Structure 1
């Protein structure tokens, strides 16, 4: 699959756990099936919201293989392979690609500060994993504290042909999308797909700025799918109306430190996973927070039957 032409929604998958912290493969299967039923184009696993740092290397490999097999050839899977050192990155990248992954995602370490350091890092990463492995740039400065200017992203894309996609979650970032698409228009940058994160918080306008869709994990990925389709069909008002109905819940799920707990609680509420447990360290929701989520969920049901069905 040519990921430079990817569009739609690549769901950032959570990692389902049993209450005791073991990986729940039964819920993993139901989650993959749920994403497919929602119309997701593909999946991205072992990301920040997938609690990747809490898995050991063996778990990362076995979970990746399990999901890739369950997803099948019709649902491409991108695997996050970010690691402190290149040896582990290479090992995981080569293993998941051999298992059928469509590509890998690489985030910059938080030690990078200058433009040259960022570009050099991605060159070294490609040297480590091999230039035959398609990779995604993860641009998430709020979490990784690495600021990539559009010209830096352009340099990485131009100098490394195996770069196929940008996961864009700068905030604010609408102007960055416009600048990158402007580079394409003037011929100074080749085309790659741009899929956006941040829980979908700005997806309505990101699509209008030239993004190809979303790579995020809001508990209603079916809404994200519909918004992207409506925007691509030129149905702007319908896209915004649907998005606006979900915005209070999207916003609530975006709280730093609590977002994953909210997302997993909602996924359990929708019957996707059996437990909303996070692997330690991880904070759950208070009774008050659960009541607030339940309230927003009930309000959403007035506008979206999918919440009522759950």
Structure 2
């Protein structure tokens, strides 16, 4: 169950379901895991950026990770452990691994500004959680404001054998994938798994550039699975056709501030979770936005019947 460099496929970023009162909706957690497994996910990622992790206390984070891991069974679970300090990171990482996590994910703090400081941070993070804990390097400059060049990523990978995966979320970032794969193909860098985020916005070409799949959220994780599978099988036109049909909704879901509200609304409409509630503070959809999402779903249903939902 330990994560390694051979990981591929789709590791959906799981949102945290809440009740209207702000409590964790444990029943929806279980249902969501079952849906991801049935959709063909090869793993799960919890307590990520879109999992509302900062809104949970330490006890809730550990309990939620354990619940996902227990329900997922043989499906590997990656737990986000990013924290302002290494003490909190270490505590959650050890708790998650003891519960059966496959590995952890670490994002850089937004205070890092030089290549050397980025490399040093990950060296210290590995010292904190233990060199035996597999970790995912999260590269998401649009959110974390930390820019990692391919060279910096190579330094982190070569210095830390426990780094087995890159969660690639740079934008634009296709050339970065190509550069990393050229190095690994030439033996100039240890090969690691590359799964991509950014809400899946560039999934249509990421696999063609050498990515191994997706680690992102979307209200139709089954579409992500299909696109990754078809790309790997060389079914390029079919993969692009399906992706293009979903792109308007995918784009709508990427709006800053309300993107998670859109995702949870559609997931609730699909019956994956009981409600679209976020723990405060959180964005909400007004009647106009909901009507626009319903319009996009109706248009998508002309091509993909999975979007044909009962009237709201």
Normalized against structure 2, the TM-score is what?
0.98
CA-to-partner distance for each residue in 1:110-136, whole Å, 9 max, x for gaps? Answer: 000000000000000000000000000
Q: 1:273 — aligned with what?
A: 273
- Structure-to-structure mapping, 1:67-86, within 5 angstroms: 67-72=68-73, 74-86=74-86
2:46 pairs with 1:45? yes
SS, match of residue 105 in structure 2? strand
Tell me, in whole angstroms, the C-alpha distance in 2 between the residues paired with 1:207 and 1:258.
28
Q: 1:129 — aligned with what?
A: 129
Tell me, in whole angstroms, the C-alpha distance in 2 between the residues paired with 1:171 and 1:259.
17
CA-to-partner distance for each residue in 1:39-92, whole Å, 9 max, x for gaps? Answer: 1111000001000000000000011111100001x2100000000000010011
Tell me, in whole angstroms, the C-alpha distance in 2 between the residues paired with 1:115 and 1:303.
46
Shift, 1:3, TM fit: 2.4
Tell me, in whole angstroms, the C-alpha distance in 2 between the residues paired with 1:3 and 1:265.
34
Tell me, in whole angstroms, the C-alpha distance in 2 between the residues paired with 1:138 and 1:112.
14
SS, match of residue 208 in structure 1? coil
SS, match of residue 44 in structure 1? strand
Segments of 4+ moved more than 4 angstroms: none
Q: 1:14 — aligned with what?
A: 15
Q: 1:207 — aligned with what?
A: 207
Shift, 1:258, TM fit: 1.1
2:288 pairs with 1:288? yes
Q: 1:218 — aligned with what?
A: 218
Tell me, in whole angstroms, the C-alpha distance in 1 between the residues paired with 2:243 and 2:185.
29
Shift, 1:309, TM fit: 5.0
Tell me, in whole angstroms, the C-alpha distance in 1 between the residues paired with 2:294 and 2:213.
28
2:99 pairs with 1:106? no
Tell me, in whole angstroms, the C-alpha distance in 2 between the residues paired with 1:261 and 1:202.
21
Tell me, in whole angstroms, the C-alpha distance in 2 between the residues paired with 1:59 and 1:5.
31
SS, match of residue 285 in structure 1? coil
Given that residues 43 and 77 in structure 2 are in contact (C-alpha distance below 8 angstroms), is that contact kept between their aligned partners in structure 1? yes
CA-to-partner distance for each residue in 1:141-163, whole Å, 9 max, x for gaps? Answer: 00000000000000000110000
RMSD over aligned Cα, in angstroms?
A: 0.7
The 1:265/1:309 distance shift into structure 2, 3 A limit, reads: closer
Shift, 1:257, TM fit: 1.1
SS, match of residue 23 in structure 2? coil
Tell me, in whole angstroms, the C-alpha distance in 1 between the residues paired with 2:25 and 2:4.
29
SS, match of residue 3 in structure 1? coil
Tell me, in whole angstroms, the C-alpha distance in 2 between the residues paired with 1:154 and 1:177.
12
Tell me, in whole angstroms, the C-alpha distance in 1 between the residues paired with 2:226 and 2:188.
32
SS, match of residue 44 in structure 2? strand
SS, match of residue 5 in structure 1? coil
Given that residues 269 and 309 in structure 2 are in contact (C-alpha distance below 8 angstroms), is that contact kept between their aligned partners in structure 1? no
Tell me, in whole angstroms, the C-alpha distance in 1 between the residues paired with 2:166 and 2:195.
6
Aligned length: 309
Normalized against structure 1, the TM-score is what?
0.99
Tell me, in whole angstroms, the C-alpha distance in 2 between the residues paired with 1:88 and 1:162.
19
Tell me, in whole angstroms, the C-alpha distance in 2 between the residues paired with 1:238 and 1:59.
42
